[in-house]
Amino acid sequence: MLFVQQIVNGLMLGGIYVLIAVAFTLAIGILNFLNFSIPGIFMLGAVVIWHFLASGWPWLPSILVGLAAGVVASLIVERFTYRLMKDSEPEIPLVSSVAFLVLFENLVIVKWGSDQQRFPQFMADFNIRIGEIIIGIGQLVSLATAVILVIAVTLLLKKTKVGRGIRAIGENQETARILGVQVHRIVPILFIVTGLLTAFAGLLFAINYQQVSWSMGDEVGLKGIAAMVIGGMGNVGGAVIGGLLIGLTEVLSIYFFGANMVDISVYGLLLVLLIFWPHGILGSTAAPREKL
């Protein structure tokens, strides 16, 4: 039963990685832009929520302000990285997004210091027991929220006018413009979606682990990228599979081998899977932006 408990814990953690992986996937799959500012937005959303909670604000306004901070940060990256540099060599906007990651982290250090802060408990301890398996209500809410958000993004892409515009941009921006797609309006919407997903993932992480810090996004961001690559670059369904696999691998690695083996297990899995599936589990030889 202890092994089954670890499976449950891994799926709960994987839900957070899924949101980060989907955020990376939307950027690379549609804009061909590996947005390295995402870990910073993940951190910023959680820290802003912590700040307002610590200042005595109720939960709902604090969460809304934190999510808004994630959206604003994402739009800043869109304006000063992607929009200004999209016609340059691919590595230039990538490096600029790294600069925004460093900027967000250092702004948090300047404002709130480098110490890890304790995040308030979202609700009183409440666990669901199924035999000997214990499921924390916070973990369950996190996984359910991740699933709902991924379904919402999928429906947005497949069923709405904005989604059709996003997919048209993913195929070819110039052709999309000729067909009447308002690229200058659609691309910021995409950044709003990725900002919301990322900031919400930061909130779920903070609720589950009850801590925030300026560097909390670094490791999560790397594992989100690993999840995206494992699933298949630019494939939302693949990002979901990759995120859950990374979560399970991390928790089971701690269970069987100890915490020191986590990174070896996670990135070893990435290496092994890419040897057998060079384009990812659900990937193809098509360019990432052609697979959404």
Q: Cα torsion for 58, 61, 67, 69, to the nearest 10°?
A: -100
The pLDDT value recorded for residue 109 is: 97
Averaged pLDDT for residues 136-152: 81
Instruction: List the single range of 93-102, 228-237, 262-271, 283-292 with lowest mean pLDDT.
Output: 283-292
Instruction: Check: CB of residue 150 under 8 Å from CB of residue 193.
Output: no
Confidence at residue 175, expressed as pLDDT on a 0 to 100 scale: 82
pTM above 0.85, yes or no: yes
Q: Taking the CB of residue 247, how many other CB atoms lie within 10 A of it? A: 25
The whole-number pLDDT of residue 132 equals 67
Determine the pLDDT at residue 61.
96
Cα–Cα distance between 166 and 18 in angstroms, integer? Answer: 20
Cα(149)–Cα(230) distance, integer angstroms: 20
- What domain count does the chain have? 1
Would residue 279 count as lying in a domain? no
In a domain, residue 205? The reply is yes
Tokens of 252: 């089971």
Domain span at residue 96? 2-119+131-221
Tell me the average pLDDT across 34-48. 95
Does 282 map to a domain?
no
What's the rounded mean pLDDT across residues 98-121? 95
Q: Which pLDDT score, from 0 to 100, does residue 125 have?
A: 60
Residue 124 lies in a domain: no
Whether residue 15 lies inside any domain: the answer is yes
The answer to whether residue 66 sits within a structural domain is yes
- Note the pLDDT of residue 180: 82
CA-to-CA dists, residue 174 to 52, 84, 177, 182, angstroms: 43, 17, 5, 11
Cα–Cα distance for residue pair 37/270, rounded to 1 Å: 22
pLDDT band of residue 247 (cuts 50, 70, 90) is: very high
Lookup result for tokens 């990812």 = 280
Query: Could you give the CA distance from residue 98 to residue 136 in angstroms, rounded to a whole number?
Result: 35
Q: Residue 23 domain-assigned? A: yes
Query: Is 100 a member of any domain?
Result: yes
